[in-house]
A = this chain, B = another copy of it.
Amino acid sequence: MGGTDHETPKSWDAIVVGAGFAGLAAAETLSAAGRSVLLLEARERVGGRVKPATIAGRAIDLGGMWMGPTQTRLKKRAENFQLQAYPQYIRGKTITHLLGRTAKAEGDIEYALFNIAERLDLARVARKIERLAKTLPLDAPWQARDAHALDAITLESWLQKNAYAEKTRALMREITKSLFCADTSQLSMLFFLFYTKSGGGLDVMTSMGPGGAQNFLFDGGVHQLAIKMSEAMDAKLLLNAPVTAIRYEETGVYVEARSSEWRAKQVILAVPPPLAAKIRFSPALPSIKAGLFRRQVMGSVIKFWVAYPEPFWREDGLDGMIFSDSEPASAIFDASPPDGALGLLSGFFDSSPATNLWSPKGQDGRRQAMIKTLTRFFGDKAQEPLDYLDNDWTRELWSEGGYSAYMPPGVLSHYGAALREPVGPIHWAGTETATEWTGYIDGALQSGDRAAEEILAL
């Protein structure tokens, strides 16, 4: 870790709260510009919603892990630190299961399970979504012409009105669960449009292939980047230091953690919204900002990994992907290491079944259910894994869910203006404040850089 060779100043130029990728980027950018930075992290590790583990001797990510080619900030930083990216395995057939029917086919889901009329319906719905998204300024979706109308309805309402085929609706519900870890019934249509537009649209977001958000994996895991960033930067990092209070007055801003208080000129808060809401601010946050935090809801997700001696599904002509609307197999992917010396599958229990059905079962119950499902789809070879591991993000004290916060109706239009607006010396980072790739690692990096630049421009 850097920052130990210069004297600890009595007052920092900036304190960054949260050492996920947003906080790391902010601290890196500020300290690279010569500012003295204290980085406070509640956990005993950096990375936030990116979390390392090992399975069958291999380093894996229990949180975020993919990179898409348009995620330029992540790409650049990964290159800076010589992380090795390798393409997501996509050869062979994908298994899809929708409305009681299963198909094994190459290419897009709809070509296996959709008839001509349904394909046209799906294409029409996709075009409509694109056209609506065009009306949104990414830096101020609340100013879109129809912002209030789009924010007054759920995505589910919109689908019921605009998707004619039940299969289109079923597919959109599953895609929504995979992207947001929330239901179509829970999302504001305006928020859905903003979020998907910020990542380049639904096609990019759902794709595992070239151009897609899930195009690349990192050998050894993307968590290495968080560790390397924290080690290389000239900022003082303090772990196990959950911030409980932030107070600002004319003499500076005072940040309380571990019953101590640190002083700085500026603060960047880079923690998930529900955790920011638990910090005691004085003076109290403006009601619009507090109101926003109280209305942003973390998605519900449990990420799992299963290890096999080899990626046996590949020999059967399968790409290892399962996309299904029946529990527990929402979305499963081949995440084997590039040398193929081990077969790794990873996927998600997501949305309300994650909290209500799978979280109470514990890791053993989930392992049993998932092995059964994998056996059903991949055959008996799936029955004897080397290992199973999962991470229940709904129970992570310092995340309270994942991948990111969603907005129910009536939030983005009324409270969106408070997303990035500084409050006195307090600046706001976190992937939820990003205008590109919000909800993703890349968005976290953008938000941290942007918050740091706010301070550098003062």
Contact = CB atoms under 8 A, between A and B. Distances in A.
A312 interface: no
A250 B421 CA distance: 48
Nearest to A289: B355
Contacts of A354: 287
Copy total for this chain: 2
A352 to B, nearest CB: 4
A400 interface: yes
Given A286-B360, A394-B291, A152 B355 contact: no
A152 B148 contact: no
Contact of A274 (B294, B355, B400, B414): B294
Contacts of A288: 355-356, 359-360
A37 interface: no
A153 interface: yes
B414 A183 contact: yes
B355 A287 contact: yes
A298 B287 contact: no
A413 B153 CA distance: 17
A286 B409 contact: no
Nearest to A418: B356
A413 to B, nearest CB: 8
B300 A185 contact: no
B154 A409 contact: yes
Contact of A409 (B185, B294, B392, B417): B185
Interface of A: 148, 151-154, 156-157, 182-186, 274, 277-278, 280, 284, 286-288, 290-291, 294-295, 297-298, 300, 352, 354-356, 359-360, 392, 394-395, 397, 400-401, 408-411, 413-415, 417
Given A284-B395, A291-B394, 13 more contacts: A151-B185, A152-B183, A154-B154, A183-B410, A185-B410, A274-B294, A278-B278, A280-B397, A287-B394, A290-B355, A290-B394, A290-B395, A356-B414
